[in-house]
Amino acid sequence: MSTHATESRETADRRKIISARDLSVTFDMDRGTSKVLNSVDMDIYDGEIVGIVGESGSGKSMFADALLNAVVEPGVATGEITYTNREGESVDVLELEGEDLRACRWEDISMVFQGALSAFNPTKTIGAHFKETLSAHGADKTEGMSHARQLLGDLYLDPERVLSSYPHELSGGMKQRALIALSLVLDPDILVMDEPTAALDLLMQRSIIKLLREIRDKYDLTMVFITHDLPLVARLADRLAVLYAFEFVEKGPTKEVLTNSAHPYTRELLNATPNISTPVEEMRPVEGSAPDPVNTPDGCSYHPRCPLADGQCRRDEPPLESVSENHETACFHWEQASEEIPLATQEGAADE
């Protein structure tokens, strides 16, 4: 399901900071090859926030790991991930190794991994974590710690208290913000976040989202926010990309994807997602289950669950095609989707 994204007028003159082409991640298993990311393409532009959305097991975390060439063995990432820096120099991240790869992971592309609340070493203060990171990359400690204090302050934390604390002395929300500051201490171009708010309560989640917008604007960051929580990322992202069965099935500007989604899966996902504007009795679960990565169906991977599926869907794999400028979907029948699968509430989807 590989195709080059259509550039809008808004993005055509901006730096394409990441260009992933034919990106796959596979694991060899006793019962066969598990393909957990299937020949996907994605362009990410300087300064934007892209939300990667999908069910558990859809391939979201594998996409995040691949962006940093951090897929763990026995997993294998193939294809190309071209990163272009501020000076216009490009490199394929998947070809980096050793010191070059280590530098890229912190200095160019940084990541807040899933399960971040247990990421700190409990025997070290938060300040020691910052100093260790700065030392490992040969950065000036005095300047680096000054920047750390500024980042912590920007995230509404007391820098001196946090730096002198051990992880267990901080709340979950404080640890999460401290980890975001740590990921930014070397001034990376891109911050990749894999379910960074999953362990936090609703109020703290919304607080973190607000802070991330402020940080993006202040430091001219590009962000990739990976989550199963569609309403949450809709508050943050400029653009959404929906993953289903290890492939992108829809990409587009956030408002358009929410109010004029074209793929049946996106529409059913919206109708299954709780929001305050939709009566509970109008919510509908997505029927069926996601396919086995070792045995994905022929044709469109969504056809076993799709109310629009026909013989063509069961036989042929739909390419991504344009719905409108910079909005794409992989569905043969996307023009009928809005009539066949009405959204429970257009206004609710937009507001959420």
Residue 224 has pLDDT above 90, yes or no: yes
Q: How do the residues of the chain divide into helix, strand and coil, expressed in percent and rounded to 5?
A: 40, 25, 40
Task: Report yes or no on whether pTM surpasses 0.85.
Answer: yes
What would the pLDDT profile of 169-212 be if each residue is shown by its tens digit?
A: 999 889 999 999 999 999 999 999 998 887 788 888 888 899 99
pLDDT (tens digit per residue) in 186-196 = 999 999 999 88
pLDDT at 252 over 70: yes
As a whole number, mean pLDDT of residues 226-236 equals: 88
**Listed residue (128, 215, 144) closest to 180, CA to CA:** 215
CA dihedral of 51, 56, 59, 61, whole degrees rounded to 10 = 70
